[in-house]
Structure 1
Amino acid sequence: MFDAKPFLKTMPGLPGVYRMINAQDEVIYVGKAKDLKKRVSSYFIKNLPSPRTRMMVSQIARIETTVTRSEAEALLLEHNLIRGLMPRYNVLFRDDKSYPYIVLTGDTFPRLAFHRGTQRKGHDYFGPFPNAVAVRESIQLLQKVFRLRTCEDTVFANRSRPCLQYQIARCTAPCVDYISAENYRSDVHHASLFLRGQEQQVMDELSDKMMQAAEQQQYETAALFRDRMQSLRQVQARQFVSDFGVNDAHVIACAELQGQFCVNLVMVRGGRHLGDKSFFPKNADGADMESTLEAFLEQHYLAQAIPPLIVLGVVIETEALEEVFSTQAGRRIRINCKSIGDKRVWLKMAETNAELALQQRASQHGSQQQRLQALREALELSATTERIECFDISHTMGEATVASCVVFDKGAMQNSEYRRYNITGITPGDDYAAMRDALTRRYKKIAGGEGKLPDLVFIDGGKGQLGVAVEVMREVGLPDILLVGIAKGEERKPGLEQLFFPERSDGISLKKDHPGLHLLQQIRDEAHRFAITGHRARRGKARLQSSLEEIDGVGAKRRQRLLLRFGGLDGVRNASVDELAQVEGISSALAEKIYQQLH
């Protein structure tokens, strides 16, 4: 046990960060404090109320502290340490994908586009949105109402006639000067106002323009503005509209079910519900709602755009958070823990969403556990069989071979543990060699102590692939891992799979409605999906890089002219035969040949 008394005597009563470290020199917890001495001392009182805290304290070998100038600075340092160290007893929220945005580019004729990732100067970004579907729906709506271009710059710069978007009234064809730069800027301005939640200002401006056009007897133009106003009214009628007094707000609720937590984030912009997203923390066993919600705020918003108002369903200390968030955003950020009126309506919605997400997760987990138990019984597996890995190979006639490994553990697919292996140095199309390469690379590391040992490994293939797997496991020193080959069966129809074991010459089959077979199919199909996705990406990249070089009659000079004219390979691929033939040195016959080769 860690002797805390001499350590606590030297602790300062200053703000800072503390790190709990175990006997294996691993950081097991990182925390912040306004007063380090008071906060750390609270862990060493008798009769700690939380079993989770008692377990953590029993593992402490030493404590390290870092003094900061303020609690807000301690919060930033704590966030960085948690993100880098991923301590065992910190509640962790992981979301590897950045939120999607809508971008209006800074071009002369701005482009309306989907964006995810680093934001660049000169462009206007609107968001974040809870998911990609919300972004694409918004883009389709903006196209219908404001008719802004969405095409790539290489396509836009080389159009000689309007595209299909113009024909279906989704673009005003600025590429061929069917609209003036001034009128297009007006449409962009209205779209920008709409994205900021200022629909009424857009309606007022469109109404004024409609009246002016009517007075000048320009009835077609007036009808166009009238139609846009009607489209906007339809959008306004789609959802419940609230008045927060600000354009943007996030509403956050936390729910608990059987020791599991869910944080639901509802995004509101212009008083409209854009959508919600549920987060399930790791290492939250024994935690409470307050600490879970505080961990979410710290880990989520210190890496994301922050709205001016955050509404919470749990009362927590917000002073330091508001200070850090306001500094980061460059404007005042308010955190409201006592909601009334419309805020309470949104909060109730978020709480309901969190409860439903937990119920669905628990139901799915129970179903998966039943399937796993059925699979154990059918294959006569040990009751401790929990972690299953599955391998698959994907290629096109031996081109761009990729092997996949997916992991099922703790009653669910573990996406973060999936791995792909690019296979090189083998005879194209040799699935046995590809399987040997992937298995060797993975289990040689595991045998050396890197990674977790699986209880069961599925090999997507028949006796041949299974034989290769048996040889590899012997070579790397893991002969005791249970291996099962999955053959597709006649006509490759689901439900006709045969399972092969190393020590048996004949395969076995499970009934089509067997729960264990359903789990096996789920894992096998996920391995196939993951492999073929990686293969297509690798194949597409390889073909794109070499596509022009492989076309007879297209030498270095013609390649250079094509790339300069269309702004890159994507532009060449998107060009029509007529557009290709306009390039110097490209005849109609060669243009046709290039087009066919690229498609």
Structure 2
Amino acid sequence: MQKPTLELQIQTLPDSPGVYQYYDKDGKILYVGKAKNLKKRVASYFNKVHDTAKTNVLVKKIVSIQHIVVPTETDALLLENNLIKTLQPRYNVLLRDDKSYPWICIKKEPFSRIFSTRRMVKDGSEYFGPYTSFKTVNTILELIKELYPLRTCNYDLSPSNIAAGKFKVCLEYHIGNCKGPCEGLESLENYQKQVDAIREILKGNFKESMKDFKSIMMHLAQELHFEEAQKIKDKITILENYQSRSTIVNPKITNIDVFSIISDQAAAYVNFLQISHGAIIRSHTMEIKKKLEETDEELITLAIIELRERFQLLSTEIIVPFKIDLGENLKITVPQLGDKKHILDLSIRNAKFYRIEQLKQLQIVDPDRHTNRIMAQMQKDLRLPLEPRHIECFDNSNIQGTNPVAACVVFKDGKPSKKDYRHFNIKTVEGPDDFASMTEVVYRRYKRLLDEKQSLPQLILIDGGKGQLSAALKSLDALELRGKISIIGIAKRLEELFYPGDSVPLYLDKKSETLKVLQQLRNEAHRFGITHHRDKRSKEALQSSIESIPGIGEKTMFTLLQHFKSVKRLKLATQNEITAVIGVSKAKKIVDFYKTVTNE
């Protein structure tokens, strides 16, 4: 039977929830996706041109489609997650890392030991975690050690071995860190009560341990055992201090998972906080590399499924920054105020700090990838058809209407390309007319690039608002470049970005990398223009001095200015000082000239 065409495969897909898989001509899997309606979702890939090149490349490579129908969208979500991890398709984001996280183990044995481990052994022991850092694990184990005297030895403390007197107490017993169960000095029942209390602490519940300690302390005080009562009071203080450090919301908030997401064009960062009795008992941030046009809703949904599976989370309520669908068994909360909003904000802060840290590392380790990420982000933020790999910025400089000049600075891949900077002396405009000057320099710049068949920029940035932008557009229209080069204006006061034909400006986040690049361009153009303006004024002052002194040529004057640094210092110099530089004859002419000017 002949293999069905791709169009036929799409037409015969069911209108049901399920998972679809795309394959290339060699039978290699390209992408796995989920859908509420398989037919509509798959068809959407083929009936439009996508915004990103990667998605368009993916669509061109698809030769065949397979699908699996499931009862609900939630089932599709879970199946998609499993298939992505199993098949690892090229165009899917991979929610995985190679870290082996530490656990706290309560060993299944008489007089249970409690310790940290990276290996889970299925022998009936209890494991709490995994924790995302050993620092957290060590802090919890130190707290337990301060509160409860447990054994640290690995003896087999079976009733028969203890009765046979096989073991002797060690130093830990003598310094008060263990009560000597190895010699039968502590009962299994009493030891087990301590293990039960530790189990509650590991779950984030400090209430029962606090209650027990207070009861024991009151009993000892009534029996006039004040020294022992003080020791118990010290334990209560330790527990209270630990709890106050851990509790950041209302202690009534219990068994809740918090997820937040921060994303840019290249990656997303999902932070997860696990809350129990108002305390954070686990925190983790995951980086997800984007492959196609995944939305924040899609990415955080995939991350929640993965993290709940990895950390064995059983909570029935999840706090997220926006509405998502995770099935009927989970309560999804999007808080607007109160303690739950406070904890969500904390999660967002953690995600932001993690992103900043990763970007700094990326800039050092992989500068090319860092540049690619910024270019992609600028294209998205500025709504450009292409990445702005080549940007040119124009700025006019005329101080009190004199010496009008303009500057053009060039950035390539987000960095200054100083060899491409250009100065312009205004030729056709009389007086201080910034708009006409902008029209002139933009025309001259791109007329020359076109005549010399040089590459044009993807973006032109004009230092100014609507008026300056309109002036620059006149030149692009005259050169028939409108639409071939993107152009925007940046107004200094509120950092407003103006687009041709749009009266409403665009405002970027003040901390965004895109705005920082644009500000750097604008400031560099201003600096470069002002420098040229000063040089031009100085040169004119020098020229007027040269022309006024009979018998003194340009070369001689240049030699003098190199030595004295300015015309003012030359005027104040003595004849001997000038003679030492250019000789007696010429020195006398200069001194006589300036004396005559002064006397007049």
TM-score range (shorter-chain normalised) is 0.5 to 0.7
Partner of 1:111: 113
139-148 vs 212-221, greater mean Cα deviation: 212-221
2:317 aligned with 1:343: no
Hey, what's the Cα distance between the residues in 2 that align with 1:180 and 1:39? 65
1:51 Cα deviation from its structure 2 partner: 4.4
Partner of 1:334: 331
Partner of 2:97: 95
8 Å contact kept, 2:18–2:35: yes
Can you list the C-alpha shifts for 1:133-188, whole angstroms capped at 9, x where unaligned? 21122111101111222332459979744334334443333223332223222222
8 Å contact kept, 2:268–2:290: no
1:52 Cα deviation from its structure 2 partner: 3.9
1:82 is paired with a residue whose SS is helix
1:238 is paired with a residue whose SS is helix
2:29 aligned with 1:27: yes
8 Å contact kept, 1:248–1:269: yes
Same amino acid, percent of matched pairs: 29
Residue 308 (structure 1) aligned to one of 288, 302, 315: 315
Matched letter for residue 356 of structure 1: F
Partner of 2:192: 185
Partner of 2:424: none
2:364 aligned with 1:364: no
Hey, what's the Cα distance between the residues in 1 that align with 2:13 and 2:42? 9
TM-score, scaled relative to structure 2? 0.55
Cα distance change, pair 371–25 in 1 and its aligned pair in 2 (3 A)? closer
8 Å contact kept, 1:100–1:114: yes
1:303 Cα deviation from its structure 2 partner: 3.9
1:102 is paired with a residue whose SS is strand
Matched letter for residue 324 of structure 2: E
299-308 vs 87-96, greater mean Cα deviation: 299-308
1:121 Cα deviation from its structure 2 partner: 5.7
Can you list the C-alpha shifts for 1:412-441, whole angstroms capped at 9, x where unaligned? xxxxxxxxxxxxxxxxxxxxxxxxxxxxxx
| Structure 1 residues not aligned, in runs of 5+ | 324-332, 374-599
1:371 Cα deviation from its structure 2 partner: 12
8 Å contact kept, 2:120–2:127: no
Partner of 2:12: 10
Matched letter for residue 107 of structure 1: E
The structure with the larger Rg is 2
Can you list the C-alpha shifts for 1:221-242, whole angstroms capped at 9, x where unaligned? 4334323212212222324431
2:132 aligned with 1:130: yes
Can you list the C-alpha shifts for 1:374-432, whole angstroms capped at 9, x where unaligned? xxxxxxxxxxxxxxxxxxxxxxxxxxxxxxxxxxxxxxxxxxxxxxxxxxxxxxxxxxx
Hey, what's the Cα distance between the residues in 2 that align with 1:353 and 1:202? 30
Hey, what's the Cα distance between the residues in 2 that align with 1:258 and 1:36? 27
Residue 239 (structure 2) aligned to one of 223, 232, 250: 232
Hey, what's the Cα distance between the residues in 2 that align with 1:304 and 1:235? 23
160-169 vs 194-203, greater mean Cα deviation: 160-169
Hey, what's the Cα distance between the residues in 2 that align with 1:82 and 1:370? 29
Residue 270 (structure 2) aligned to one of 263, 266, 271: 263
Matched letter for residue 165 of structure 1: E
Hey, what's the Cα distance between the residues in 2 that align with 1:90 and 1:44? 18
Q: How does 1:404-553 map to 2 (within 5 A)?
A: none
Residue 72 (structure 2) aligned to one of 70, 73, 91: 70
Cα distance change, pair 298–207 in 1 and its aligned pair in 2 (3 A)? closer
8 Å contact kept, 2:6–2:63: no
User: Superposition RMSD on alpha carbons, in Å?
Assistant: 3.1
Can you list the C-alpha shifts for 1:476-529, whole angstroms capped at 9, x where unaligned? xxxxxxxxxxxxxxxxxxxxxxxxxxxxxxxxxxxxxxxxxxxxxxxxxxxxxx
Partner of 1:163: 170
8 Å contact kept, 1:259–1:285: no
Equivalenced residue count is: 362
Hey, what's the Cα distance between the residues in 2 that align with 1:83 and 1:193? 34
Cα distance change, pair 301–233 in 1 and its aligned pair in 2 (3 A)? closer
TM-score, scaled relative to structure 1? 0.55
Hey, what's the Cα distance between the residues in 2 that align with 1:14 and 1:137? 50
Matched letter for residue 76 of structure 1: L
Can you list the C-alpha shifts for 1:248-295, whole angstroms capped at 9, x where unaligned? 333222112452222222233332224532212234454332222122
Partner of 2:590: none
2:38 aligned with 1:36: yes
1:87 Cα deviation from its structure 2 partner: 0.8
Hey, what's the Cα distance between the residues in 2 that align with 1:126 and 1:119? 13
8 Å contact kept, 1:266–1:277: yes
1:245 Cα deviation from its structure 2 partner: 4.3
Hey, what's the Cα distance between the residues in 2 that align with 1:107 and 1:165? 20
Hey, what's the Cα distance between the residues in 1 that align with 2:137 and 2:68? 42
Partner of 1:535: none
Residue 287 (structure 2) aligned to one of 253, 272, 280: 280
1:46 is paired with a residue whose SS is coil
Cα distance change, pair 171–247 in 1 and its aligned pair in 2 (3 A)? farther
Matched letter for residue 191 of structure 2: Y
8 Å contact kept, 1:259–1:286: no
1:209 Cα deviation from its structure 2 partner: 2.0
1:310 Cα deviation from its structure 2 partner: 5.4
Hey, what's the Cα distance between the residues in 2 that align with 1:121 and 1:167? 32
Residue 198 (structure 1) aligned to one of 199, 205, 214: 205
Hey, what's the Cα distance between the residues in 2 that align with 1:370 and 1:72? 40
8 Å contact kept, 1:143–1:149: no
Partner of 1:253: 260
1:254 is paired with a residue whose SS is strand
2:355 is paired with a residue whose SS is helix
Partner of 2:149: 147
Partner of 2:523: none
Matched letter for residue 289 of structure 2: K
Hey, what's the Cα distance between the residues in 1 that align with 2:366 and 2:346? 30
8 Å contact kept, 1:290–1:314: no
Matched letter for residue 303 of structure 2: F
Hey, what's the Cα distance between the residues in 2 that align with 1:370 and 1:74? 38
1:69 is paired with a residue whose SS is coil
Hey, what's the Cα distance between the residues in 1 that align with 2:308 and 2:241? 33
148-157 vs 355-364, greater mean Cα deviation: 148-157
Cα distance change, pair 28–368 in 1 and its aligned pair in 2 (3 A)? same
8 Å contact kept, 2:267–2:290: no
1:165 is paired with a residue whose SS is helix
Hey, what's the Cα distance between the residues in 2 that align with 1:41 and 1:217? 81
Hey, what's the Cα distance between the residues in 2 that align with 1:35 and 1:118? 40
Hey, what's the Cα distance between the residues in 2 that align with 1:220 and 1:4? 83
Cα distance change, pair 159–235 in 1 and its aligned pair in 2 (3 A)? farther
1:49 Cα deviation from its structure 2 partner: 4.5
Hey, what's the Cα distance between the residues in 2 that align with 1:288 and 1:244? 34
Q: Which has the higher contact order (CA 8 A, sep 6+)?
A: 1
Can you list the C-alpha shifts for 1:454-493, whole angstroms capped at 9, x where unaligned? xxxxxxxxxxxxxxxxxxxxxxxxxxxxxxxxxxxxxxxx
Partner of 2:81: 79
8 Å contact kept, 1:249–1:307: no
8 Å contact kept, 1:256–1:355: no
| Structure 2 residues not aligned, in runs of 5+ | 371-600
Cα distance change, pair 96–211 in 1 and its aligned pair in 2 (3 A)? same
Matched letter for residue 344 of structure 1: K
Partner of 1:448: none
8 Å contact kept, 1:284–1:292: no
1:118 Cα deviation from its structure 2 partner: 3.4
Partner of 1:54: 56
8 Å contact kept, 1:172–1:179: yes
8 Å contact kept, 1:91–1:295: no
1:82 Cα deviation from its structure 2 partner: 0.8
Hey, what's the Cα distance between the residues in 1 that align with 2:20 and 2:50? 19
351-360 vs 70-79, greater mean Cα deviation: 70-79
Partner of 2:299: 292
8 Å contact kept, 1:100–1:116: yes
Hey, what's the Cα distance between the residues in 1 that align with 2:368 and 2:178? 51
